[in-house]
Amino acid sequence: MAFFLQNLINALQWGSFYALIALGYSMVYSVLMLFNFAHGDIFMTGSYIGFFVASGLIALSATGTVAMPGWLILLLTILISMFLTSFVGIAVERIGYRPLRGAPRASAAITGLMIGIILETGNLALLGASRKKFPDLIETQTFTFAGVSVTNTKIMIVAVSLALMLALHLFIQRTKWGMAVRAMAYDFFVVPLMGVSINTIAVLTFAIGSALAAAAGILFGVAYPILDPYMGILFGWKAFVAAILGGRGSVLGAALAGFLLGFIEIFVAIIFPSTVRDLIAYSIILLILTFRPHGFFGEAYSAQLRL
Amino acid sequence: MMPLLQVENMTHFFGGLRAVHDYNLSIEKGEVRGLIGPNGAGKTTIFNLITGVYKPSEGKLALDGASIVGLQPHQIASMGIGRTFQNLRLWRHMTVLEHVRLGRYSKITYGLVGAFLGTPQRHREEAEIEAHAMRLMKLTHTDRFANTVVTNLPYGVQRRVELARALATEPKILFLDEPTAGMNPEELIDMMNIVREVHKELGMAIFLIEHRMKVVMDLCERIQTLVFGEVIAEGAPEEIRNNPQVIDAYLGKEVEA
């Protein structure tokens, strides 16, 4: 039992990253019906922005002008980086996707891949090939209850992720923009005719998705402090799988599927050697999708519905 | 006096196909105007052109004297053109109340802080929106279903929800695209009564596309007949009913024995 709980906690942490990233895929898809394939690289960019913000805050704190405890630096890093990374998302929408509105879907997909490569190689050109080490902001403490050990960072990561998801949920349920996001998921064509600007909503979903990816990037940096320009590729793909598994455009589905992915990966790794972890984990997911091609909360969209 | 909506010499091409040719329209405040014509005549295209879904190839469009050519659909909607659709276009899994509330999107001014923390401004606005929505739902006889998800409602009611949502944008002119399409006789009578009531209560102009002659003839003060993108007749219901060209277009030419 203790063994199970131990892995459950690990899976929750691992799944948090996927869930936060998958939300960005899902939100953009629900509004514009396109998958932003640069999203994994926005996660990477967010992580790097977090690295610089944290380093800056540490330096500032070290000068003694404003001495800050580690947790405060981390909190500020998350908030500032989310804010800054949202502009990366907005830029991607403006430069990459908006000119292609109305173009065939494949063009947008290819644009996404290209933006991804630009972000990766841009990072490489700017910062060089050496990896960055995310600074230690909070001292790791381990608590042990009934044979289950939990670190404070794990608790923090899961708690921050859940808090962000709750905030997103409230945003979607309670604000007029959230209501427009939901409406666009059902019928894109009608929304502007009710006085809602599609571009505003599109920008908003890119900004929110990117901010969540940045949060994931920083939390990831706290747990696994090595950053490299290509860290977003595999992570992005896996989170994309979570978004599909949750049901295209379903925010709740994306979050749940993100966690499910974490669980499957962690529990597969218990039984099998880690070299075959992804092979088996993603075969299981393929099997799930065979029986539920629209994912858990997805609907069979008809093409006609979108004009 | 300046008309509420004025369209002058509007022409539109889809590729090489001329869908609308030299179309003119002038609607006064509070007027109920009808647009009839056989399938494919270009009626819905005219709606899409005026509401900004398509940009006309040529022509002038003005609402309240201000040109609306080239504006985005959401801008035109905010300026006072509300509309419903020929095929139901509701947001499945959203409630009736949510539909009507989102229709008021451009009138909601409280921001993020208000939404999350419940500022007095939010409460005041929410109460206002709620009261306004309630009034519109009563008018369209959908108030009983306020918190029902629209997919669970009968067809006739769904069409009325569309009407309520369009009304929520506070249109100066309401475009109704075949509001009685696919309705059974009972639903049809309901809908006609509701449209009359709405017009009496709110007094906006109405521009109506209809296939059923009875509906247009009963509701509209003036009617245009469109065939192959061109207006072939315009006048009071009585004139239209007896116009030989209209009869030809609808029933085919009489063959002399």
Contacts of A188 in chain B (CB under 8 A): none
Cβ contact A180–B105 (<8 Å): yes
At the topology level, CATH places domain A2-306 in ABC transporter involved in vitamin B12 uptake, BtuC (1.10.3470)
Cβ contact A193–B101 (<8 Å): no
**From B78, B92, B108, residue closest to A176, measured CB to CB:** B108
Cβ contact B105–A186 (<8 Å): no
Domain CATH code at residue B177: 3.40.50.300
Cα gap B11→B59, rounded to integer Å = 6
B165 touches chain A (CB under 8 A): yes
CA distance B168 to chain A (A): 9
Q: Give the residue from A286, A67, A73, A186 showing the smallest Cα distance to B151.
A: A186
Other beta carbons within 10 angstroms of residue A71's beta carbon come to 13
List the pLDDT tens digit at each of the 307 positions of chain A: 788 899 999 999 999 999 999 999 999 998 888 899 999 999 999 999 999 999 999 999 988 788 889 899 999 999 999 999 999 999 999 999 999 988 888 899 999 999 999 999 999 999 988 899 999 988 889 998 888 889 999 999 999 999 999 999 999 988 889 999 989 888 888 999 998 999 999 999 999 999 999 999 999 999 999 999 999 999 999 999 999 999 877 888 999 999 999 999 999 999 999 899 999 999 999 999 898 888 888 765 543 333 3
**Residue A238: enclosing H or E segment and its boundaries?**
helix A231-246
Asked whether A27 and A209 are in contact (CB, 8 A), the reply is yes
Measured CB to CB, residues of chain A less than 8 Å from chain B are 167, 170-171, 174-176, 179-180, 182-183, 185-187, 189-190, 192-198
Cα gap B165→B75, rounded to integer Å = 17
Q: Is residue B132 in a domain? A: no
Contacts of B98 in chain A (CB under 8 A): 179
How much of chain A is helix, strand and coil, in % rounded to 5? 75, 5, 20
Q: The complex's ipTM?
A: 0.82
Strand partners, B83: B175
B108 touches chain A (CB under 8 A): yes
Best residue of A176, A181, A250, A307 to probe chain B, by most B CBs closer than 10 Å: A176
Q: Is residue B143 in a domain? A: no
Q: Is residue B154 in a domain? A: no
**Domain of B9, in residue numbers:** 5-91+166-251
Q: What domain count does chain B have?
A: 1
CA distance A24 to chain B (A): 19
Q: Using one digit for the tens of pLDDT, what is the confidence trace for B57-96? A: 999 999 999 999 999 999 999 999 999 998 889 998 899 9
Cβ contact B102–A180 (<8 Å): yes
B94 touches chain A (CB under 8 A): yes
B80 touches chain A (CB under 8 A): no
Asked whether A137 and A59 are in contact (CB, 8 A), the reply is no
> Domains of chain A: which residue ranges?
2-306
Contacts of A181 in chain B (CB under 8 A): none
